[in-house]
Structure formats: structure tokens, C-alpha cells
Amino acid sequence: MKANITMPSSNSLYAAMRVATTPEAADYLVQQFEQKLKDSGMYAQSQGLLNSLKVFAETVHREHDSSFHVWEGDKGILRVSNPQEAQRINNQDSTLKEYSKTVVDKSVDFGFAVNQESELRRGYSSDGKEVDEKLKTMLDNYFNAWVVNKDMAVLDGVVYEAVTAVKDEKGKQEKVLVDYKKDSAGNPIPADPDKVAKAILDKDDGLKAYVEKANPTIKLDTKQYAFPAPEAAPEKGSGMGAGG
């Protein structure tokens, strides 16, 4: 016979989530709720709610991971300001060949976020710290080469659909950027954000597989995060604006 257990209401559960702002508190909330479900005999029919709570706890963990913040703000924008520069970056075979000879011997976390306008933020960390500029540049060039192979390209932090051509060199085929696909008004067409994220995370043909094949001394893990919300401007009369 199951004990008469009072389950928390949805309001009390949401209130607990609002104050569970540390990984330890979030884990404790999940453990306590899971135990209550088991004690009350409601475990089997409450998996959806329990899984949602576990996702919440994972989010809290990510937000406290020091590598979570390396791609936020301006430093997360992959700076390519015009099509000619993009072509140069994406088509520099000699640079990529030199990178393949570079011994890195690091495990790197590639954190990224993409919003509905296909704006991309990215960052690289190793052992919880942002990688140095040399390695960051190397990984950005690998990313640019990989994304062109997916018929996309980056321009000022936005991922667009691309017109590509296949270049065959010594039996190895690589795509190179020709131009961005344009709409009837001549504007570049943003790539589908879900397509971008799915391509990056693809187990067999994603960024991780591309980088590790190009340079086996790099071990890359890809992690997707929610796109950072823009900072709200202070309201008039709030006392939060500049003095004057």
C-alpha cells in the first residue's frame, strides 16, 4: 500500500524552479520530486513532467559552466564583413593544409547558439577557459570551410544559403564559396536555423567529424545553447539610465 503523499502543485513546482539557481539546488529539486513520484505510485505516468524538470536542471548546469559564456556578446560573432572576404576565408586551401600539420593536443568545447534570424554566436573553450587567439582563428577557419561544404556561408555573424562550386585537387573534393544565394530584391537569403544547428551537431558529418578528420590532434565537442536575449534598455524614470 502506497503512503498518502501530497504532490506539489504546478505553481509550487514553478516557484521552486525559480529559486533553484545553482546546479546543486536544481539537482536536489529533481531528486526530491522523483522520490515523491516513486513514493506516491505516480512515477510511470509522470515521466513527461520529470523529464522537463531534468532539462531545467541541465540548463542550470550549463549556465554555471564557465565555457557557457565564451561565445556571448560581441566576441561570439564570427566577423566576416563582405562577400570578397568570405570567399578568401573559405577558399584558403593552403592555410587549411598548414593547420593539418599543427599539433594541438587539446579537447575543445565548441559552444554555439543560433536564433530565428539565423544569427550565429560561437565560442571555444578548453578546460573551462577560452582558447587562445591562434587556436580560435584555426577553428574559425575550419568552421568556415565546413559550413561551405554544407552550401552555407557566414556574413557578419549571420548564416546564409550559399552558391558553391566543387574543387577537385589530387582526388580530394572540397566545395568553395562562389556567392550568397539572393532573393528577388538581391538580398542574401538566411539559412534555416534548424538546418544550421542540425548540421553542426550531425554525428557523422557535422563540425566535430570534419575538424577531427582535418586535424586528429583536436578533440572537439559541440554544444548548443539558447541564443542570448538582448539586454533591455532602461525604462525612462527607472533611475537605471545615465545621469544628466
Residues 112-138: pLDDT tens digits?
989 999 999 998 989 878 899 899 988
Please report, for the chain, the start and end positions of each structural domain, with discontinuous segments joined by +: 10-64, 70-224
Most confident of 52-66, 82-96, 181-195: 181-195
In angstroms, the Cα distances linking 124 to 21, 95, 134, 150, 221 are: 25, 20, 12, 21, 10
> Looking at per-residue confidence, does 178 or 203 come out higher?
203
83, 188 contact by CB (below 8 A): no
Most confident of 96-100, 198-202, 222-226: 198-202
pLDDT of 101 above 90: no
pLDDT of 231 above 60: no
- Of 110, 80, 100, the closest CA to residue 188 belongs to 80
pLDDT digits (tens, 9 = 90+) for 163-187: 988 877 666 677 888 889 999 999 9
> Looking at per-residue confidence, does 88 or 111 come out higher?
111
pLDDT of 242 above 60: no
How confident is residue 215, by pLDDT bands cut at 50, 70 and 90?
very high
Average pLDDT over residues 208-226: 92
Q: Which helix (H) or strand (E) holds 40?
A: helix 23-40
pLDDT of 72 above 80: no
Beta bridge partners of 190: 160
> Looking at per-residue confidence, does 108 or 59 come out higher?
108
How confident is residue 240, by pLDDT bands cut at 50, 70 and 90?
very low
39, 3 contact by CB (below 8 A): yes
The pLDDT value given to residue 6: 74
* Pairing mode of beta strands 152-155, 129-130: unpaired
| Rounded distance between C-alpha atoms, residue 128 and residue 66, angstroms | 5
pLDDT of 70 above 70: no
How confident is residue 244, by pLDDT bands cut at 50, 70 and 90?
very low
- Of 13, 74, 2, the closest CA to residue 42 belongs to 2
139, 108 contact by CB (below 8 A): yes
The pLDDT value given to residue 233: 42
The pLDDT value given to residue 85: 61
How confident is residue 66, by pLDDT bands cut at 50, 70 and 90?
low
| Rounded distance between C-alpha atoms, residue 56 and residue 37, angstroms | 18
